[in-house]
Amino acid sequence: DGGITQSPKYLFRKEGQNVTLSCEQNLNHDAMYWYRQDPGQGLRLIYYSQIVNDFQKGDIAEGYSVSREKKESFPLTVTSAQKNPTAFYLCASQWETSQPQHFGDGTRLSIL
Amino acid sequence: GQQVMQIPQYQHVQEGEDFTTYCNSSTTLSNIQWYKQRPGGHPVFLIQLVKSGEVKKQKRLTFQFGEAKKNSSLHITATQTTDVGTYFCALNAGGTSYGKLTFGQGTILTVHP
């Protein structure tokens, strides 16, 4: 069954700690995206990748980092430099630029 | 950068009433997509509009794309409790944007039985 898997579902971060959110897809999509959603708000783009070994900053990249070593995987690291990391993080993939994006179930990150 | 305004932010209706959300862009769009996010869930694609003046229907849902390709609307006829959720428009400017979407803030729909 094809889809996008995000893990973990819930994550807690301590002060000064880096945490990594996993995103894996078996849809054979080239493009992948990371969004942040705050309560009652829309999705804001953090990073995106159009192809393996290449990625670009989105609108709110500060305090985040990504890698795209494999087509299937696009992990997001929330670094200690991100002072307000509490949010719902959504990963999406896209087959082709004019096509819709498919989303994972998301990861809820909170500060301890 | 591209600006998007989606209104209203909240809409409370009685079951059976109609509902409309509007999306306006500061720039001409390549296409516009609509997504629905159920409470606690993730956005799910509803439809994509590409042509100027396009109108598409999905059962009780009607989607319109403006003639100038800068605005769009989603109308739900006779709402049901299953329509509850947040409806987002997502703008695709095309060109060098390469599939990037700019999401509106969403309209949160509550349906009272």
Which structure tokens are listed for A40?
């009652």
> Inter-chain contact A102–B45, Cβ cutoff 8 Å?
yes
Percent of residues in chain B assigned helix, strand, coil, to nearest 5 = 5, 55, 40
Is residue A109 predicted with pLDDT exceeding 90? yes
Q: How confident is the model at residue B73 (pLDDT cuts 50, 70, 90)?
A: very high
Tens digits of per-residue pLDDT, B82-101?
Answer: 999 999 999 987 666 567 88
The pair of three-digit structure tokens given for residue B63, joined into one six-digit string = 């989607």
Confidence (pLDDT) at B30 = 87
Question: What is the rounded average pLDDT of the residues A33-48?
Answer: 93
Q: Which of B86, B72, B63 is nearest to B11 (CA)?
A: B86
Query: What is the structure's pLDDT at B64?
Result: 98
Task: Please give the residue that has the higher pLDDT: either B3 or A10.
Answer: A10
pLDDT in tens, A29-39: 999 999 999 98
Distance from CA of A79 to the nearest CA of B (A): 24
Whether B100 contacts chain A with CB within 8 A: yes
Q: Which residues of B touch A96 (CB under 8 A)?
A: 99
Detail the DSSP E strand segments found in B2-93. Answer: 4-7, 10-14, 19-25, 31-37, 43-49, 55-58, 61-65, 71-76, 85-92
